[in-house]
Structure 1
């Protein structure tokens, strides 16, 4: 960061640094600092709702506990590995990824990353708006159009203002939100323990192996893999001599500890009350509020909204950086504001106008999860192969050592994505029939077709991740060695 930029940051409190390399003098963050943004973004009562989704695969409580622990921890560990790229390159995730895909070729995964970030953060804003309407209705304050408009404006304002302010303010904000949302979540658990029926929870029969795999993939996608494309954005201020293992550890601990405990508690609630489990599918946060005493509904709503906002802020901040990495020449705060406006428009459309948009919207985002997993496998393998830090200048020069296009990585991403799409099915077939082409390999590969036992295992996500990693590890070993002059 230049002296002028540093002065502006201190004076205005707004980070003006975009995708450029962070100056050594500004790389003062420590690995343990990563705990705050990841914990704050994931200590949400929304995590409790995942208990219903996991049991929805027809597995037992103990199978679900295993799925939760393995899925959440493993997915955030992968996220932590990607975070090492931020330390090595002092640049956002989609800039360091240029070493694997080429400076220009990186735009292929960059576009997908941008769409995923905008989509999921819009989804969080939608949930916050709908939850407000539900809770206000329970309080007898009205949950109609006026309530939704005000809620949407407040949520959008919080997300956009924080993401525009940038890294330094977001880090301070997340440390505060950690305590607020964490305490409220503990109170929620204390007030709802009486709704848990241990006998009902443990009486649920075990499900088949395919269902366990399906639940595992859903948990991994919903947690760590959902953040993996922005992981290095929060580690680019780390000192160059920071321990890679410590970065992975704090990233994993901060991201995984809260959702692991919350999902397990959600398993006990959903396993105790089928009506509660069914309601969570349509309005997760509002339904979780139905078992609370009236006096705690408002604090519950505030903490839930803040937790959703916390997650959305990380996403919008990073989507702005991704937009810049695609070649859009505007200041970083402007990029974050543009993405915030898109988020607001998307929320308005879904909440007030769309009749059947949510299903197609989710189907579209889940579809993008396959190429994102393929990118993650390629990126992780590239990190494993590298022995040195990135060449900062070459990350911005198509004629540099990383070149304009790495056709091996691009081809690997395309092939593994197509293969992955062949092993997943469209779970919103009625609302998004245009996506029913997926799952075309389930029959030919002897997995029972689209109606078979493997249909809902979502093997394509794991397949794309693993194949992307293995193919890159084998085919790009020599390329990486040449790039590093070895």
Structure 2
């Protein structure tokens, strides 16, 4: 594998992280599982979480039902991310390299490529949002100089913020794991405190006496709320949980990795979900505006003295999500097989993401809705990939987490494993038939297993197909692997042949 273990521990090195998709050597492992809380908390303490709560409430649930459904969905999906994160310290591998155990060295390139597309796609959106949020500060304070007649920031100001956001994001992503983990501790503390102040200022806009006016939804709508919460947060993170845990010592207890990861993801989004539901349930107009653009709808309620620092914190939280995402997507690109060091691949990856964000900001903003709809569909395959990996953990543990299985065929791994690939394809097709899309073009090729009534109802709105695909893919893979025993052992034929030639 590229970037093989080097002699000097990372902690003692100067400059960017050197490890790529190789197993992190045991002598370079450090830290405790509690350190995972900050990286996940900082990533998820975003004002957009309020919009997520409004979406769950919009399924026709009462405020109490929506809060319970959303909390369950977040907790379950975050817990799954926590379980997959355990593979990090056990193998020292990024998650999308560890999936080679299940899919094979060459076969893994297919799901890894789609995971890469999903990752960079959302980072393009985040960098776009961070740039416009920063520019909005100046547009609000000095509209004569920095705002158009429509009240939007002028293009050159957005460009300046685009450069600032991109430079900061790329610096951290290139620096690597150690720098990111330290930065996230400060970001988590800052964003956590500021978000609490923000919540205190927004709570007075909740009309408590109106919450009881909302009728309860059906059992199907409640389940739909759980599924929607799962798809909006945790399931989208299944493919890089181990990226931030792989520097932990191999013997790190699994309960710590799972617990701190779950808490870091679920805590901030659950608090913001509750706030969003209470706003939507008591103030439909504000809730509707926040569902479309939570940052614009909610920051306008803030006094200027707090609007400015809080907007800066929003930008910081978005940069936090972008830098961890670019770091992980760089590792994903290496898992696909692109040659080069982690630093070079991360820079190339950053250029791709920057080009996408620039396109959305300055060339074709009308493309954004279709783009996000496409990324949502990729979640069907990504959730299934995560489910298969969860099942494969049983197999990996039985083999004592043998990292040779991530190597090419003949060196311990295999080129491909039809069991995982077939499970992924079958479940993904099924899942696409059970989801819907708001984009008119994409809508033509999905939801083909739903009736017209189902497409326009709770089943379609909740995208339950993502979870069904995950369950079916996991079950199918488990059956062929453990029941029919289609589980070939590590292949060392090339190593054996080389040794015999030398002898």
State the TM bucket, normalised to the shorter chain.
over 0.9
Cα deviation per residue 1:164-189 (whole Å; 9 max; x = unaligned)? 11000000000010111111101111
- Looking at structure 2, the residues matched to 12 and 87 of structure 1 have their Cα atoms a distance apart, in angstroms, of 23
2:495 maps to what in 1?
Answer: none
Given that 1:77 and 1:248 are in contact with CA atoms closer than 8 Å, whether structure 2 keeps it comes out as yes
Equivalent residues in 2 for 1:250-265, closer than 5 Å: 250-265=260-275
Instruction: Quote the offset at 1:275 in angstroms.
Output: 2.3
Question: Corresponding residue for 1:186?
Answer: 196
Higher radius of gyration, 1 or 2: 2
Aligned counterpart in structure 2 of residue 460 of structure 1, from 462, 465, 468:
465
CA distance in structure 1 between the aligned counterparts of 2:244 and 2:130, rounded to whole angstroms: 24
Q: Counterparts in 2 of 1:85-484, with a 5 A limit?
A: 85-141=87-143, 142=146, 143-385=153-395, 386-429=397-440, 433-443=441-451, 448-477=453-482, 478-480=485-487, 482=489
Aligned residues: 478
**What is the distance in 1 between the residues matched to 2:354 and 2:69?**
34
Residues 426-455 of structure 1: per-residue CA shift (max 9 Å, x gap): 1222xxx14421000113xxx845335532
Deviation, 1:72, is: 0.9
Corresponding residue SS for 1:454: helix
Deviations 1:11-57 (A, max 9, x none): 53311211111111111232112111111111222222222222222
CA distance, structure 1, for counterparts of residue 438 and residue 442 of structure 2: 12
Corresponding residue for 1:40? 42
Q: Residues 467-486 of structure 1: CA distance to partner in whole angstroms, max 9, x if unpaired? A: 1111122211234484599x
Query: How much does 1:269 deviate?
Result: 2.0
User: Who is 2:57 aligned against?
Assistant: 55
Q: Report if the CA contact (8 A) 2:276-2:287 is conserved.
A: no
* SS of equivalent to 1:162: helix
TM-score by length of 1: 0.93
* Structure 1: 5+ residue stretches without partners: none
Counterpart-to-counterpart distance in 2, 1:74 and 1:170? 26
Question: Alignment partner of 2:300: what SS?
Answer: helix
Shift, 1:93, TM fit:
0.6
Q: Rate the CA distance shift 1:199–1:428 in 2: closer, same or farther, 3 A.
A: farther
After superposition, give the CA deviation of every residue in 1:342-393 in whole Å (9 maximum; x if it has no partner).
Answer: 2211111111111421111011101100011111111111113432432223
Contact 2:77 2:233 in 1 (8 A): yes
Q: Is the 8 A contact 1:97 1:106 kept in 2?
A: yes
Root mean square deviation of aligned Cα: 2.0
Write out per-residue CA displacement over residues 270-325 of structure 1, whole angstroms, 9 at most, x where no aligned residue. 22322222222332212210111111111111111111111111111010001111
User: How far apart in 2 are the matches of 1:11 and 1:373?
Assistant: 37
C-alpha displacement at 1:65, in angstroms?
0.5
| Cα offset, 1:115, TM superposition | 0.3
Alpha-carbon deviation of 1:133?
Answer: 3.6
**What is the rounded CA distance, in whole Å, between the counterparts of 1:248 and 1:388 in structure 2?**
21
- For residues 146 and 201 of structure 1, the distance between their equivalents in structure 2, rounded to whole angstroms, comes to 44
Counterpart in 1 of 2:498?
none
Q: Deviations over 1:139-188 (max 9, x none)?
A: 33432212211121111111111101100000000001011111110111
With normalisation by structure 2, the TM-score equals 0.90
Residues 85 and 242 in structure 2, CA contact (< 8 A), matched pair in contact too: yes
**2:500 equivalent in structure 1:** none
40-49 vs 449-458, greater mean Cα deviation: 449-458
What CA distance in whole angstroms lies between the structure 2 residues aligned with 1:388 and 1:285? 48
Q: Structure 1 residues 285, 453: CA separation in 2 closer, same or farther (over 3 Å shift)? A: closer
Which position in structure 1 is the counterpart of 2:18?
A: 16
SS at match of 1:436: helix
Give unpaired runs (5+ residues) of structure 2. 147-152, 493-503
In the aligned structure 2, how far is the partner of 1:103 from the partner of 1:42?
32
CA offset digits 1:313-338 (Å, max 9, x no partner) = 11110100011111111110121112
Counting only pairs closer than 5 Å after superposition, residues 68-83 of structure 1 correspond to structure 2 as: 68-83=70-85
